[in-house]
Structure 1
């Protein structure tokens, strides 16, 4: 086997949750990080090809993945591809990581980091809306990094929800299925929406001590959250985006008529230090190659 080529299992092993969250936080303070806009090319059948490069003073990487919504519910994953990692000084290729694993783990790790900085109440339970790859990753990340021990799972697929509940229990957590995400939100200070973002899945306003991470929508046309919910949080609490790319990609916020460019990023929050924890918080994540670079840095050290 090529020692530089890490399959899904070895990629996951190289990206343990707590160190990955810490690496993402460290990257936000690294002035050498450079991340150009990602290239998104529409292909046939509503699919996309993403090219996402980034580098710092020592490591360069690019993520090349396909996103195929039509694969949802089939044996084929919606996200496929690789992350190739290079040494900046020599130009040598160091690693090739499994793209879907990197995407799943870094996305959930960013949500956990945002919750660590912003969530008014980390006690749980946590509502998981969507029981696919990202639902599983968020259960793992929030259990491992923030100690969440109880999860409520809402999904269109009972089979997927039951599988995710079983997985949560295997981690030592409590888990149960809920038929109505809006009704369940009233009892959950933590929530994440991680669906294909083909329509609104959450309408109820969050609790005054609520934190919602919305990770499914990454184009202006995609949406998971009701516009009134987004406007409520903007008026009563705080909205933070993962990176400035969200200015033109955060469909939930754009469709709510909010000025996304005026909202702080996670980097702004970390740079400012202690963040106010009053009122509900919405963390809108669209994805950024910097998160993949953090994963590449950690995996390179592990290798």
Structure 2
């Protein structure tokens, strides 16, 4: 099914889940980040807010793609029915029309984990790896599945504050992926001996949950939980330990995340060892990569990731007949 002459379509999370494959998304993101992308094609996210109401927008125009668009998310946190809804709007370069509305909630998890896995695939040594996970939410669950598509995971240890949740999480990993997994009573215990460490759960009081002296030599760190100045996840000792820091959005990670702001305030210099994900994929930081013994990937998310993965899902959903045509037509301004 082509969308050349069709009305706009809606792609639900159920449809996205049915057509999504980690390997496809990781390959698409690695390809997208390997191409030069003008800064104007991926402007910074914007946030409008009044009191407890906020609206965030993440636009992107991937240079080599058919579709472009933006993800919108908003909420009134003072509402009697709190919650956040996400929508990705895609425009079609060929028809010059609005092509699709995609439920962005699941896509956000898919793109975050796929982006982390695309970086991990270049940063972590090949071969079996022990994975430590700090967190037991949706992001942590998706990251394990994404990581398992690029590395053989020999075992998984998971820590989160609630024993029932971490034990259930570990049981699901073993059941779904066939990987031995267990919950442990502390973050330090989880990290001990791990080859890859994922931090996917900020502490409730915004204190660091990972420290540099817990990490074994050669361990690769992936940090996704601190995305704004007020949030903390990793200690400054992790930043100091890291000899290569890959950032999905370089300036936002270095200048707008609580972890990096704390490291800067402590006098730790890290800009010289920080590179963008595009640098990693294009080979621009190969010399630093070869020398790296303590790499870290730190992510805040970005519109390019949303649009690349949304395009992949839309294309597959159209082919599978899982996109729902909408009984609407937009007036085109000429």
Shorter-normalised TM-score: what interval? 0.7 to 0.9
Pick from 250, 255, 279 the counterpart of residue 248 of structure 1. 255
- Deviations along 1:92-131, one digit per CA (max 9) or x if unpaired, are 2222222121111111111111111011365221111010
CA 1:267/1:32 → structure 2, altered by over 3 Å: closer, same or farther? closer
Partner of 2:158: 153
Distance 1:76 1:199, change over 3 A: farther
Match for 1:55 among 61, 68, 85? 61
Does the 8 A contact of 2:133 with 2:190 survive in 1? no
Structure 2's unaligned 5+ residue stretches are 1-6, 319-334
Aligned position for 1:210: 219
Q: Which has the higher contact order (CA 8 A, sep 6+)?
A: 2
The change in CA–CA distance for 1:125 and 1:67 in structure 2 (over 3 A counts) is farther
Contact 1:143 1:149 in 2 (8 A): no
CA distance in 2, matches of 1:188, 1:264: 24
Verify: 1:30 aligned to 2:35, yes or no.
yes
Determine the C-alpha separation between the residues in 2 that align with 1:127 and 1:67.
33
Structure-2 residue corresponding to 1:129: 134
Q: Using structure 1 for the length normalisation, give the TM-score.
A: 0.87
The equivalent residue for 2:282 is 271
- What is the CA deviation profile of residues 240-259 of structure 1, one whole-angstrom value per residue up to 9, with x for unaligned ones? 11122323223212211155
Q: Return structure 1 stretches of 4+ with deviation > 3 angstroms.
A: 30-33, 42-45, 66-71, 258-262
Match among 175, 178, 187 for residue 181 of structure 1: 187
RMSD: 2.6
* TM-score, structure 2 normalization: 0.80
1-side partners of 2:54 and 2:271: how far apart?
25
CA distance in 2: counterparts of 1:260 and 1:12, whole angstroms: 38
Aligned residue among 236, 240, 247 for 1:227: 236
Q: Contact (CA 8 Å) 1:122, 1:189: kept in 2 or not?
A: no
Shift of 1:24: 0.2
Contact 2:62–2:304 (8 Å) recurs in 1:
no
How far did residue 91 of structure 1 move? Answer: 2.8
C-alpha distance in 2 between matches for 1:8 and 1:15: 10
Equivalent in 120, 127, 130 of residue 115 of structure 1: 120
Distance of aligned partners of 1:219 and 1:70 in 2 relative to their CA distance in 1, 3 Å threshold: farther
Stretches of structure 1 lacking an aligned partner (at least 5 in a row): none
Measure how far apart 1:152 and its partner are. 0.7
1:64 is aligned to: 72
What is the alpha-carbon distance in structure 2 between the residues aligned to residue 282 and residue 93 of structure 1? 38
Relative to structure 1, the CA distance from residue 135 to residue 247 in structure 2 (aligned partners, 3 Å threshold; closer, same or farther) is same
- Higher Cα radius of gyration: 2
Q: Distance in 1 between matches of 2:311 and 2:163?
A: 37
> 8 Å contact 1:250–1:284 — kept in the other structure?
no
